[in-house]
Structure 1
């Protein structure tokens, strides 16, 4: 989700952790195989509204402790392959390394086109228990007209575009992508919600815009997040080097500041579970 926004610790320990990121870990001691394994629980989702439309989630409970979810949109539009071939980077491995070093759970809303371009990274993120991958469409085309200049996907192709993204995740080796969907540009209407109802996804928006899209001032991005976060907030950021070059630096400031204020970082799934429990 790339949008333009007008508004715009320990360094040694972090550096050491980043250096170690990706290094093989020592094998665990062998244990006897359990005789039975519990069936994995289904990811939490919200029930459709009274008219059967796809439910929309914006933030978690405000009174259930100081939790906050950092979300990162891994954007790549379907027609940007030529730009990637010329060397433009739509990924941001340094950001993922920093989240790992700081031990920050996060939800990555990934386009299928991004997963096709960076399958090894998609698999690495998807298999890391620190993260969860959710759907940001395949094409990154808008699901409404007049959405920040994005090309549009027709209503009769919306469901197929979402399902195509899940297929791209599976090709990359991500077998447990979450049943959450973020509209490109955050743009949706009743027709879009109706078109996605058969997929069973929960649409995930946000209540804090980081302003990192196309920003170069990481301090301004961090300040905007820190001023906007409340208990249960969902923060939208980006995992795209070329379009959000200041994000990784901003995260280095945001994380210790929020932790000092008593916030705990969680994935979107935890906020949705808490919201559903309060219904």
Structure 2
């Protein structure tokens, strides 16, 4: 189980390693969180790229990777882009799911597999509880990685798109509760990355989560798929926004993002035609570290 104590221990080890091997400042990151003993581990790197703490020890925030198609030595590295999908479900949406509303999107996951597209799924703990078989399947597929999107999908700041809010003294427990839900679902190796619900954060939130050792992951390309019904418009917005190193935010929720799978089918071949290579967020963070 990924508990706050374990995350703090990982952070302490990283600090010790920094004195020996530049932990957190090169592509070598913190040891990847271990799955529960009963959960078979999917193939994953032994060390997970993360960012060094921000100013004053605040939780670091990652928005995009290198804006180049070459590595630090100048060799061709390809134009990298990361597709990310938020598996949103608030803590109080159980009755809506019981009534037949679909907060999952198995067809989207199947399409990503068919197109052989690596992706990072930012999952809420409530989503993992509602769809444990899907969460486990995604988490055990080496093409994907699961990261933390909070347990409740309640905002970590006030005035965030009308979302209910989490008080400062509950932020860390909300994050940890999501990892507990992943463990119960049998998710192997969830990543030490966190996406704020609604993308809303402030200095107080970054301070509260600093002890957990997570890297906050934002984005630089808003797909606009949330509640969209025009797949062509969303496709154009993604293609117009992507640059080398981009992180694209989309959603893995049929009820709130019904055209996302169609958008992926259009976006993927076009970006490949333009020379882009799809990677998970972990690879993009690793590339960013090597370019420093």
Question: What residue number does 1:59 align with?
Answer: 64
TM-score with structure 1 setting the length: 0.85
Aligned residue among 164, 188, 197 for 1:151: 164
Aligned residue among 174, 195, 199 for 1:186: 199
Correspondence 1:271 to 2:284? yes
Q: How many Å separate the matches in 2 of 1:102 and 1:62?
A: 25
- Following TM superposition, by how much is the alpha carbon of 1:278 offset from its aligned partner in structure 2, in angstroms? 1.9
Does the residue aligned with 2:86 lie in a helix, a strand or coil? strand
Question: What residue number does 1:42 align with?
Answer: 47
Does the residue aligned with 2:174 lie in a helix, a strand or coil? helix
- Following TM superposition, by how much is the alpha carbon of 1:175 offset from its aligned partner in structure 2, in angstroms? 2.7
Deviations 1:38-83 (A, max 9, x none): x952211001013000000000001143010000000000000000
Aligned residue among 135, 151, 166 for 1:138: 151
Q: How many Å separate the matches in 1 of 2:108 and 2:188?
A: 23
Correspondence 1:127 to 2:140? yes
Does the residue aligned with 2:83 lie in a helix, a strand or coil? strand
Corresponding residue pairs, total: 242
Does the residue aligned with 2:114 lie in a helix, a strand or coil? helix
Matches within 5 A, 1:250-265: 250-265=263-278
Query: What are the ranges of 5 or more consecutive residues in structure 2 without an aligned counterpart?
Result: 1-43, 71-77
Matches within 5 A, 1:72-221: 72-221=85-234
Q: How many Å separate the matches in 1 of 2:219 and 2:241?
A: 11
Q: How many Å separate the matches in 1 of 2:103 and 2:268?
A: 23
Does the residue aligned with 1:73 lie in a helix, a strand or coil? strand
Query: What are the ranges of 5 or more consecutive residues in structure 1 without an aligned counterpart?
Result: 1-38
Q: How many Å separate the matches in 1 of 2:55 and 2:260?
A: 38
Aligned residue among 258, 261, 281 for 1:245: 258
Q: How many Å separate the matches in 1 of 2:141 and 2:208?
A: 31
Q: How many Å separate the matches in 2 of 1:76 and 1:274?
A: 31
- Following TM superposition, by how much is the alpha carbon of 1:117 offset from its aligned partner in structure 2, in angstroms? 0.2
Does the residue aligned with 1:51 lie in a helix, a strand or coil? helix
Does the residue aligned with 2:56 lie in a helix, a strand or coil? coil
Q: How many Å separate the matches in 2 of 1:60 and 1:187?
A: 20
